Amino acid sequence: MRRFTLRAGRLNRIQRIVVALAAATLVVAAIGGYAWFGHHQANERDSTARVCAAAATPAAQAIFSYDYRTFDASVANARPFIAGDFASEYAKTTASLKATAVSVKAVVQAQVSAVGLVDTARDGKVDVMVYLNQYRRNANISGEKVDQDRVVLTMVRSGNGCKVDNAAAI
């Protein structure tokens, strides 16, 4: 029976090659994982941005429209589009607006003419610029007036859609 033996020098050389190959494999795997994760994160931000941009139009139209005859229903119509601290801010604003809207018989119909992305942050928030026309009628004006407003809606992902987390007029 013949016995194969490796000399100590040859064994050390093979061990060094195996260790080097294992280290190179780990480095390549780490770089690949990092690249995949970055790509995945970018795709998630893009997806969120698209969903939020699409949700901005119905949200803005609901939030910035009201009719004095059905004021509470107008406010309730906007609630599903609102999230976070903005919900309490919106409730306070509309509560203080109600008496004035009823006294002057105000009807405001908001229509979005365009939307555009301003920023997509890593924290999942998306800033959407909304070009908003508010057609308003009330007892103090004759006919209908149009206010052309620009609003930045900060939106966050919520389930399969997005909700407004903040609104800032420009």
Q: What are phi and psi of 98, to 5 degrees?
A: -55, -50
Domain coordinates in residue numbering, the chain = 10-169
Q: Are 161 and 57 in contact (CB under 8 A)?
A: no
pLDDT at position 81 is: 96
Q: What is the dihedral of CA 13, 18, 24, 26, to 10 degrees?
A: -150
| Alpha carbon distance 95, 75 (integer Å) | 9
pLDDT at position 11 is: 65
Interior/surface letters 19-41, b for 16+ CB within 10 angstroms, e for the rest: eeeeeeeeeeeeeeeeeeeeeee
The contacts of residue 45 (CB under 8 Å, 6+ apart) are 120, 122
pLDDT at position 32 is: 87
For 106, other C-beta atoms within 10 Å of its C-beta total 19
pTM for this entry: 0.76
For the chain (length 170 residues), average pLDDT per consecutive 10?
A: 59 84 90 82 83 95 96 96 94 95 96 93 88 95 93 91 94
pLDDT at position 118 is: 92
pLDDT in tens, 38-58: 877 777 888 889 999 999 999
What kind of fold does domain 10-169 have according to CATH? Nuclear Transport Factor 2; Chain: A, (3.10.450)
pLDDT at position 127 is: 95
Cα distance between the two ends of the chain: 90
